Amino acid sequence: MDFSRFGKKFSAGTGILALMDDLGKAMEQGGDIMLGGGNPAHIPQINRIWRRRMEEILATEGEFERMVANYDTPQGRYSFLEALAELINREYGWGLSAKNIAVTNSSQSAFFFLLNMFSGTFDNDKKKKILFPLTPEYIGYADQAAEADAFLSYPSKIEFTGENSFKYHVDFSKLEITEEVGAICVSRPTNPTGNVLTDEEVQHLAGIAEEHSVPLLLDNAYGTPFPQIIFVDVKPVWNENIVLGMSLSKLGLPSVRTGIVIAREEIIEAVSSMNAIVSLASGALGQVLTLPLIKSGEILKISREIINPYYRRKSHQVLYRIRESFEGLDYAVHENEGTFFLWIWFKKLPITTRELYERLKRRGVLVVPGCYFFFGLKQPWAHRDECIRVNYSQDDNIVNRGIEIIADEVRAVLKKTPRQEKTSGIPPATGWEKAPSRT
């Protein structure tokens, strides 16, 4: 069947498609050691809160029916928008109103709207791109542009923070903001690496964006005030030139598909219009489940006192396991400043991590190869083939076993495979199964 260019682009194999396919099969069928994907942990205390809320909804006359049987507006449920604005104003004094907030059917959908709103063909046939100043970046952005050649990214500056640890920074000395830039986009904390941009980096980017009259898109799906999966002290920031993305997924509600956009009113109106065209309305389940927690401020308490300590403990535990299991290997782990991912760099691996992914998959361990997080680069960067992302949110025993198998497989590769020269080209990320191996 002959599809349009749009149809061909969005039905082609992509990294995010393979990632979610692996995740869904592993979570439903079991049997694999699932260290890929972005599923949050099933935290018992948090699960009990969602059960309690569902029981309260069912026990309240008419509330369940209103939740599932009525459309909300394309912008979201007004009571939710108003409560969230009040909560954030109490915390940060940003002066938001309900008109500054929209709810979308997932943060992924929100960024599809935003990335295409500020890239592609403009009036007078001008072409604009989204600038990603920190690479690697979130795999879910990579294939979202409706038009070709819509993304531009720069390699991060690498700071070695220890014998087996490092951190990425924005390399402002290399950053060029030309007329072709329509917006700047970063995630904080960053998926896949667990990097958190410093306050100075964010302020610098915000200043650059304002100077060039383009918005700064700041993806805050793991950050503050909720779900607070962030392990360093940072200052939340918003102004009318910043578009802030949030999500309910990492609170333990990935299936309710609730994204949140905080922005100036004209952007919220545009997002709401797009939401109406694509989805008619925003889904109500996540908004209804969390509304009392937002009104009371309990959502902040559970984020700070349950979710954050839970992932902080797991982060320490898996880093200890890596140090034990990887002893003698030439590796480095990115500083884990947030999210529930570890970004591992194998500096002398003679095969690509795409090939390592295939080998691990045959042993029942699912990770994510790093190459799909390096989109939009102008020049080749061999680093893209040397890293993997590991999700440590699953049961400790499962994670520990997965780490041991990764270490064993890397040792097997080093023992059996001669050191090879790195490739100079970066093949297009058109799906994991289509990605070429290093020759």
Sign of CA dihedral 19, 24, 29, 32: positive
pLDDT below 70 — which residues of the chain? Answer: 13-31, 416-439
CA distances from 312 to 49, 229, 309, 336, 341 (A): 20, 8, 5, 9, 11
In the DSSP assignment, the letter for residue 338 is B
- Residues 103-112 pLDDT 10s: 999 999 999 9
- Residues 65-115 pLDDT 10s: 999 999 999 999 999 999 999 999 999 999 999 999 999 999 999 999 999
Radius of gyration in angstroms for the set of CA atoms belonging to the chain, rounded to a whole number: 21
* pLDDT at res. 432: 34
CA distance 26 to 402: 14
* Cβ atoms 199, 235 nearer than 8 A: yes
Residue 104 corresponds to which tokens in the numbers above?
């979308």
CA distance 415 to 408: 11
Cα angle 279-140-306, degrees, rounded to a multiple of 5:
90
Domain boundaries, the chain: 5-46+302-434, 70-298
Identical fold between 5-46+302-434 and 70-298: no
Task: Look at residues 9, 328, 319, 334 and name the one whose alpha carbon lies nearest to residue 143.
Answer: 9
* pLDDT at res. 169: 97
CA distance 173 to 178: 15
Name the class of domain 70-298: alpha beta
* pLDDT at res. 439: 25
Question: What secondary structure, in 3-state letters, does 203-250 show?
Answer: HHHHHHHHHCCCCEEEECCCCCCCCCCECCCCCCCCCCCEEEEEECHH
CATH code of the region 5-46+302-434: 3.90.1150.10
CA distances from 187 to 110, 214, 312, 345, 358 (A): 14, 17, 19, 20, 28
* pLDDT at res. 436: 30
CA distance 109 to 43: 26
What's the pTM value of the predicted model, to 2 decimals?
0.90
Alpha carbon dihedral 40, 88, 105, 283, in 10-degree steps, equals: 110
Listing DSSP states for 243-278 in one string gives EEEEESGGGT-GGG--EEEE--HHHHHHHHHHHHHH
- Residues 19-54 pLDDT 10s: 556 655 554 545 579 998 889 999 999 999 999 999
Sign of CA dihedral 204, 210, 216, 222: positive
